[in-house]
Amino acid sequence: MFGSAIIVFRESLEAALLIGIIAAATRGLTGRNLWLAIGIGAGLGGALVVAGLTETIAEMAEGAGQELFNAAILGIAVLMLGWHNIWMATHGREMAAQAKSMGNAVKSGQREMSALAILIALAVLREGSETALFLYGLAAGDGSSRVSMLSGGLLGLAAGIGAGWVLYSGLARIPLRHFFTVTSALILFLAAGMAGQMARLLIQGDLIRPLASPLWDSSSLLPMDSLLGNLLHIFAGYEARPSGMQVLFYTLTFLVILFGMRWSRPRIPQAT
């Protein structure tokens, strides 16, 4: 029971934390909850479809289908997170100043939310399909421990959701003055980490070269299966043995989004 709880917890944690951050970062946008619900619902539905198609997807692209599929999802997620941060650099200040969405911000806020709903749907789809497969394997298994394993899975899912909620309420407590700085920084690292994962998948499918592999090995200092290593992996894309290409993807994404945020920041505080 404990084992299955941990596996489902790990799978659901990433999506739950992403939703927590996005939910916090979009505080005050009109219709936020509806969009979040649409994203999560679509993601869960998609997860079941993808779980059912695992074998088909895996066989595509000469065995690299799973990698391509997940890399594409990560690529879209990186684009949307990057765009969100750049959008926030433009509109965040006025929203902070007015505390609520107003006039001009509402229309572009809706576009922003619909894009984020897609992002959330993709995150839920990716992590959810793995969880669904794992739970399906348990349900199909013939052990008498099936019930305890499945309840363990549900426990893990609840813990994952709980972690997302804790992050959300923690973020919501940050004073507005620092709020957008904190969420933007979190999202910047998150996006860079996803770009790194994307590179890892493309290397695993032999679609791109690893360059130096590994570029460094910090596994004795901070192993991936330690709590801190795991958290840093989720939040900031930490890898104990990254390939050169992963680091390249990570750094490029980080810099592109950072410069995008700097450039789009209004020069005059009163800009629309």
Partner 1 sequence: MKALVLACLMFPLAALAADLEAALTIKDHRFTPSELKVPAGKKVKLLVSNLDSTPEEFESHELNREKLVAGNGKATIYVGPLAPGKYPFYGEFHDKTARGVIVAE
Q: Give contact residues for partner 1 (rule: CB under 8 A).
A: 3, 7, 54-55, 58-59, 62-64, 66-67, 75, 78-79, 82-83, 130, 133-134, 136-138, 140-141, 195, 198, 200, 202-209, 213-214, 219, 223-225, 239-243, 249, 252-253, 256-257, 260
Q: How far is the CB of 60 from partner 1 (least distance, A)?
A: 11
**Nearer to partner 1 among residue 39 and residue 229 (C-beta):** 229
Quick one: 124 or 203, whose CB is closer to partner 1? Answer: 203
Which is nearest to 115 in space by CA: 197, 190, 22? 22
CB of 133 to partner 1, least distance (A): 5
| Residue 100 C-beta: closest distance to partner 1, Å | 30
Structural contact between residues 205 and 67, judged by C-beta atoms closer than 8 angstroms: yes
The smaller minimum CB distance to partner 1, of residues 32 and 200, is found at 200
Least Å distance, CB 211 to partner 1, is 11
Closer of 101 and 243 to partner 1 (Cβ): 243
Cα 127 from Cα 46, distance rounded (Å): 11
**Residue 108: CB minimum distance to partner 1, A:** 18
SS3 annotation, the chain: CHHHHHHHHHHHHHHHHHHHHHHHHCCCCCCHHHHHHHHHHHHHHHHHHHHHCHHHHHHHHHHCHHHHHHHHHHHHHHHHHHHHHHHHHHHHHHHHHHCCCCHHHHHHHHHHHHHHHHHHHHHHHHHHHHHHHHHHHHHHCCCCCHHHHHHHHHHHHHHHHHHHHHHHHHHHCCCHHHHHHHHHHHHHHHHHHHHHHHHHHHHHCCCCCCCCCCCCCCCCCCCCCCHHHHHHHHHHCCCCCCCHHHHHHHHHHHHHHHHHHHHHCCCCCCCC
> Between 70 and 101, whose beta carbon lies closer to partner 1?
70
User: Based on CB atoms, which residue is closest to partner 1, 174 or 208?
Assistant: 208
CB of 130 to partner 1, least distance (A): 6
Least spacing, CB of residue 19 vs partner 1, in Å: 22
Is 3 or 266 the residue whose CB approaches partner 1 more closely?
3
- Residues with Cβ within 8 Å of 136's Cβ and at least 6 positions away in sequence, in order, are 51
